[in-house]
Chain A
Amino acid sequence: MEIYGFGIVAICMYIGSFIGMTLGKVLGISGNVGGVGFAMLMLVVFTNYRESKGKPLSERTQNGIRLLSALYIPIIVAMAANQNVVAAFEGGAVAFLAGGVATIGAILLVPVISKLTAGKNDVEKDLGGKRA
């Protein structure tokens, strides 16, 4: 059933957040260190495991998860409508330069890092991923 999909994502979220918060405590900072990332990883591992066993989630369970991901863009739009855009404009030159240059510089570095570390993957792609 569709609600099972909701439940699977929810349990991944709770376990992931638990790991993230525990990690935060161990590291001595308050908050959730990569909790969402752990949760996503868990969902990937779980669904890939089921598929490798030849027992993928039922169509309706998948639909539940798909509904949530379909809501993602509208949620991002709502999130954008939630930002303190006025503060961003009023932060003055420092905020604009610090935030702006950090962003543009980081984006421009993307291909450099990709090339630096991903050369091997291109070879794997050429070989049909056999070496992966």
Chain B
Amino acid sequence: MGDNGSGKSTLLRLLSEISDPTEGSITLRGTVSPMLEAGVGFHPELTGRENIYLNGNLLGIGRRELVKKFEEIVTYAEITEYLDTPMKRYSSGMFARLAFAVATHLNRDILIVDEVLSISDISFREKSIKRLQNLARQGITILIVSHDVELLRSICDQAVLLKDGTLIKHGKYQEIHSLYYGEQYSVE
């Protein structure tokens, strides 16, 4: 959590090894999805099917695993009938659903989620929160950046508060929540 410009996305970039740290070091225990946002690399001219493979490859997933998960991803994203339609004809909700589906159906120990659910409709939103909760129960670490309080409350147990690129506090979600939002409300 933190204000805009506090370093949330920078932290995620460092963790997914997109940028190098200028000082200090990071220890990762497990495999990380090497992608910051869901749907990176989706090309509007390509069909949903082509984009799933391209996006999956960007996540470092081989063809064999993708073929195995393909059905599951498509069904989950509810785009079966639009699979061979270029993505430029997709609604923004379909786009977001497919992006979310690919990112969360690939086996990673640490899943990085940067503001993905902002444009989904209510039913898919609930479905995806459930999905994230399920993944967390399976032992997958979910690292999420969001200003969506309800979403955070439903999946996080730990939280980190950043400000101007420094760590303010790390602790239980509830504690950090009241620290961050409490402080903001008191300013208002």
Q: Do A and B bind each other?
A: no
